[in-house]
Structure 1
Amino acid sequence: MSHLALRRTILAAGLLAATALVAPAGPATAADPTTAPATAPTERAVTLPDGWKARPATYPGTAKEADLAIPMSDGTVLRGDLELPAREDGTAARGRFPVVVTITAYNKSVMGSSLGEDEPGYLVRRGYALLTVDARGTGSSEGTWDAFGKREQLDGKEVVEWAASRARPWSNGKVGMRGPSYMGINQLFTAALRPKGLEAIFPQVPAGDVYRDVVASGGQVDVGFIPLWMGLVTTTGVIPPAVTATDPASGVEALLSHVFGAATFTAPLLLDAVLGGDAAHDGPFYRTRSPLEVVDDVDVPTFLVGGQQDLFQRGTPLLFEALQRRGVPTKLVVGPWNHLEGSMGTDIDQVGHGTLSQLQLRWFDRWLRDARKSRLGAIAPVNVYENGSGAWRTQRTWIDRDATARSYRLSGGATTAVRPGVLTTGTAKPGTAVVPPVPVSGLCTRSASQWTAGIPAVLAADLPCFQDNALNDRSGIVYETAPVRKPVRFAGPVNARLFASTPTGGGMLSVSISDVAPSGKVTRLSGGWQLIAQRALDRKRTRYLDGEVLQPYHPFTRASRSPAPGKVVPVDVEVFPTAAKIRKGHRLRIAVQAFDVPHLLPALPDLPGSLSPITLHTSAKHPSRLTIPFFPRGGR
């Protein structure tokens, strides 16, 4: 098994079961560094299609110092593994190097430092020092875990400044950061505090707004990813720290604080959300932990990688837009990836600018080594995969400047699993359709795989329901266009404004948009969710295009709840961003269900209202419609 495949298997297994993780190897210390093989393969510079040359390794191997003590300002000791370029004899090379920092909550002794690299030590063998640090309360670090809390954010700043200090004999004072998911989010919080020495970051699949992105999309509690994620951190946290063998007092203190954190942070938070408490609503807790709240303080060059089937499909492009508006040097690549694929940089070379390792080398060489030969100008600001055509599009902005709002109206009635309704740009006919509460809707779909971080796609990639949404669509109501005569292209967020009524005023609208081939195969493009009782809009934070709502923003607070039993009300459902070409002869479809499991489940107080049918209304008085950012000239 390749190193890449091994890392992917470990990550998937950890997320799925939180028990099948590899036990840490025996400890290594600063006095007795472990080394990688010292024999360097014969290498040459690799020239990419855009003219950039990926320089070969300049050192034959790497040397590692494990569990370095990194003291924080409050007395807590974090632990980091340091990898340095090595000479032929396996000892660390002399000199000062730019440092690339990763801060992880997944136990560095288990997950390692080379996730997604072309080869172990790729950057190190090219003249970088690599520092991988266990976040507070995880791995070998002391303290209590408080995911992305204010103290953890300050830790990031202090770790970077420690690494940049001239007191470190291996550091030249210039620091970058890299890593996916948790490690990507951490980079943004760290950069917002503007630590001395931080020059550039490379976050893959980071969140923007943790509440809307993943915790409670549409206001309903996520039960697919969040419990798995918290279980992974908790499980890796109670593995006896490797540092116990060399520093018993620190190791025991770390282990006890990790157990305490699981009892005082993880379990109570999950329980409160399920019971409909404060954790089920947006507020200060989630604002503190959302990078979009601090992104305006980030001023270092930022390379973002996102995925259209990723957990943070919504948030990553919003981060890019915020940075680009302020003139921060930034790039965005959005591929057809789930969370695992985006974390690994799977097939990112198809964009045309190199593998993940080559892109990181290119980025850090430019900003940490002042190597202007990186030719970053050859990389467009936005690179996005287009579903349907399989092509990569380049744009200057996330929502293309040529885009216009095109609305498709839901027309007439429809019957579950029997008769679809019509989706038209013309005049809509009046009608109604009843969405039945089917608690297994979503069970075997691309949505199910997406919201469990892509694990099902690893373990059961050949399941037909991950590729064809037709069966799942039969559990709800469908409206679709006639076969299109000209291709329809769009990219960005999508809004479904649906006029709905329920006997209880509760329930959730689960919306998917799909490409329907002439064969009948239904390819899910994206989805969105919205509790009917929390339909209130914050109009100042809602995005409009040509006067139409394109990306609604709902407050999701207790005060914003407004059930209206029996009344017809407009509900704007934010369909997460995607890019697609509906080819000639294909159809554009919107499907509406009342559940999306195992992704979302109602909090216990909302459960009774979620079991009543939902009626959709279409007429001139109730103009239900789907609005897309359409390219009138086919885009570039």
Structure 2
Amino acid sequence: MQIEYDVPIPMSDGTILRANVFRPIGDGEFPVLMSYGPYGKDLPFQDAYPRQFDAMVKAHPEIAVGTTGKHQVWELADPERWVPLGYALVRVDARGSGRSPGFIDSFASQETRDFYECIEWGGTQPWSNGKVGLSGISYYAINQWAVAALQPPHLAAICPWEGMVDWYRDANYHGGIPSSFFPRLYGVQIETVQHGLGTRGQKNERLGVLVSGDVDLGEDELGARRADVAQELRQHPFIDSYWRDRSADLSKVHVPVLSAGNWGGQALHLRGNIAGFVESASEQKWLEVHGEAHWTLYYSDYGVDLQRRFFDYFLKDEGDWSHEQPPVSLNIRHPDETFELRAEQEWPIARTDWTTYYLDAADNALSLDPRPQPSEITYEPFGPGVTLLTPAFEEATEITGPVAAKLFVSSESEDTDLFLVLHLIDPDGAEVLFEGATEPRHPLSQGWLRASHRALDSARSLPYQPVHPHDAAVPLVPGETYELDVEIWPTCIVVPPGCRIALSVLGRDFDHGREGLPTAYGVEMRGSGVNVHDDPVARSADVYNRPVTLRSGGAHPSYLLLPVVPPA
């Protein structure tokens, strides 16, 4: 393949961004697969993330077949696998990152406008056929939705793989509860490849290239050239223009979409992929949901074939994707972490039997029958909480779709945080955990709500998915009972006979209690991944660890709503 490094892409304000271009040998016009992001276009995957790379290749050895891996980088397509398929790959270092100068302001409108201009550049090069597709994982997926809403003329299709669409709800304020995820990632994965680190930064020894540019800037100057993410997030606890500027307007996304999510992407990489599919205005859109680790299937034969057929159709006018691919493709999960690929026509699945399990606080039970007698249980939020269980299932039962809960609670404080955890319990009473997108072992699903954010958006809320505007906080009156509707993120499991479903109500992040697991961004992987809510100021014990009482039965019919899916 032909490779051009550090190709200049001029922005309208005079800034020059840098891109690497990989394309087939010889003359010709080729469809373009583009990515734009801050992780360093010249930073090799296996050097920067050796543990993840080795695990990925062990799980799917075909990833290493037919490629040297020399040009493989974190969360982006491998050109040695895609250029032979007749594509030109363009990787752009985002403004202020890698070898592109400028100010880093993640997901802000300037980044989106830069991406727009890069797409138009790629669509008008002499080696381009005029059709640009977008490909990439996580950050490289999130910004696809945003730039698609700007409707660049040369954008022909997007494939956001495990991203998000709502920067507030999907990543930083789960149910209004602040997460420390992005500030941690920012310090580890973005600041470390900021343009201007020069010789103090990382080097691609294979290419002899300084990942963060050839200029050495001082620490003060580097700090002045990037947003203070942690401070900004603290300054915007409610949805305002800051969040709207960084979240996609799905009503303006009309381009063909293949949205790929992960059942294990709790608190980061699932809700947004489904919302993008459901809410985008595109008439040509498809949803796929899978399991395994966050970065793995994108590179596998399964993932490459799925993406290739999609892009071949919309960028090359080849194949019959629109007729052969069902609108929804779900990898149905079993407790042994095997999957069965199944076609569906919509999300949620139309034949879903929405099943209500009523809470019985007296017996720590979940029952199909409403509890006529009132009962209650009081717990310490930072302690073990309350866990309620269904009876054992008598036959194999599939649960696939969004989950919701309505809880009646009171607190001795002016506010409280609800952390809801959905579990699968085996016949011996042990929890079955699953491989997550960014967490080795996680529960079936999780949901969150800060009680002072309990107001509902009546126009958007559905029985199975409450939506909160998060535009103000209304404190609780200590001791008064409140009705709280909690969104629990979608899940999928075939429950075997003899197993049970459990719901835990906590005031802290889920912790499975197992030891010896790895860390990421300084966080030990204990069931909630890196998406923890541990800010001691935003979650002070004086407010959020005061006793909470959960009520059920009678005038307080707390319940869990599960999406039971009968066979087609």
Q: After TM superposition, list the pairs within 5 Å mapping 1:351-430 onto structure 2.
A: 355-371=302-318, 373-388=319-334, 390-413=339-362, 421-428=364-371, 429-430=373-374
Q: Counterpart in 1 of 2:149?
A: 192
Q: Distance in 2 between matches of 1:189 and 1:118?
A: 20
SS in 2 for 1:604: coil
**Paired residues of 1:602 and 1:610 also in contact (CA < 8 A):** no
Q: Distance in 2 between matches of 1:481 and 1:123?
A: 48
Q: Counterpart in 2 of 1:340?
A: 295
Of 397, 407, 420, the residue aligned with 1:488 is 397
1:157 paired with 2:116, answer yes
Of 455, 463, 470, the residue aligned with 1:556 is 470
**Paired residues of 1:101 and 1:160 also in contact (CA < 8 A):** yes
Q: Distance in 1 between matches of 2:393 and 2:134?
A: 46
SS in 1 for 2:27: coil
Give, in angstroms, the shift of residue 338 of structure 1.
4.4
1:382-425 alpha-carbon deviations (Å, 9 max, x no partner): 112333364333211110111242210001425xxxxxx11001
Q: Distance in 1 between matches of 2:208 and 2:101?
A: 15
Q: After TM superposition, list the pairs within 5 Å mapping 1:503-582 onto structure 2.
A: 503-523=412-432, 524-543=443-462, 549-557=463-471, 559-582=472-495
1:335-358 alpha-carbon deviations (Å, 9 max, x no partner): 1244334xx5266xxxxxx52222
Q: CA 1:134/1:264 → structure 2, altered by over 3 Å: closer, same or farther?
A: closer
Q: Distance in 2 between matches of 1:526 and 1:538?
A: 23
1:140 paired with 2:110, answer no
So what's the TM-score if we normalise by structure 2?
0.81
1:538 partner letter: D
1:169 paired with 2:126, answer yes
SS in 2 for 1:332: strand
Give, in angstroms, the shift of residue 128 of structure 1.
1.4
Deviating more after overlay: 277-286 vs 64-73: 277-286
Give, in angstroms, the shift of residue 203 of structure 1.
1.2
Give, in angstroms, the shift of residue 551 of structure 1.
0.9
Deviating more after overlay: 112-121 vs 573-582: 112-121
Q: Distance in 2 between matches of 1:589 and 1:144?
A: 47
**Paired residues of 2:42 and 2:209 also in contact (CA < 8 A):** no
Q: Distance in 2 between matches of 1:360 and 1:258?
A: 41
SS in 2 for 1:589: strand
**Paired residues of 1:365 and 1:374 also in contact (CA < 8 A):** no
Q: CA 1:99/1:339 → structure 2, altered by over 3 Å: closer, same or farther?
A: same
**Paired residues of 2:98 and 2:213 also in contact (CA < 8 A):** no
1:589 partner letter: A
User: How many residues get paired?
Assistant: 498
Q: CA 1:201/1:258 → structure 2, altered by over 3 Å: closer, same or farther?
A: farther
**Paired residues of 1:114 and 1:121 also in contact (CA < 8 A):** no
Q: Distance in 1 between matches of 2:80 and 2:261?
A: 24
Q: Counterpart in 2 of 1:303?
A: 258
Q: Counterpart in 2 of 1:183?
A: 140
Q: CA 1:370/1:605 → structure 2, altered by over 3 Å: closer, same or farther?
A: closer
Of 230, 233, 243, the residue aligned with 1:270 is 230
- Aligned-residue Cα RMSD (Å) equals 2.8
Q: Counterpart in 2 of 1:232?
A: 189
Q: Distance in 2 between matches of 1:118 and 1:193?
A: 24
Q: Which runs of 5+ in 2 are unaligned?
A: 45-70, 433-442, 511-522, 524-531
Q: Which runs of 5+ in 1 are unaligned?
A: 1-61, 87-92, 348-353, 415-420, 440-474, 544-548
Give, in angstroms, the shift of residue 119 of structure 1.
6.1
**Paired residues of 1:381 and 1:395 also in contact (CA < 8 A):** yes
2:81 partner letter: Y
So what's the TM-score if we normalise by structure 1?
0.73
1:435-476 alpha-carbon deviations (Å, 9 max, x no partner): 22336xxxxxxxxxxxxxxxxxxxxxxxxxxxxxxxxxxx22
1:587 paired with 2:500, answer yes
**Paired residues of 1:117 and 1:356 also in contact (CA < 8 A):** no
Q: Counterpart in 2 of 1:123?
A: 82
SS in 1 for 2:295: helix
Q: CA 1:623/1:212 → structure 2, altered by over 3 Å: closer, same or farther?
A: same
Give, in angstroms, the shift of residue 489 of structure 1.
2.4
Deviating more after overlay: 170-179 vs 593-602: 593-602
Q: Distance in 2 between matches of 1:606 and 1:118?
A: 39
Task: Identify, as 1 or 2, the structure richer in helix.
Answer: 1
Q: Distance in 2 between matches of 1:521 and 1:569?
A: 33
Give, in angstroms, the shift of residue 534 of structure 1.
1.7
Give, in angstroms, the shift of residue 106 of structure 1.
0.4
Q: CA 1:551/1:77 → structure 2, altered by over 3 Å: closer, same or farther?
A: same
Q: After TM superposition, list the pairs within 5 Å mapping 1:79-118 onto structure 2.
A: 79-86=18-25, 93-111=26-44
Q: Counterpart in 1 of 2:375?
A: 431
1:612 partner letter: R
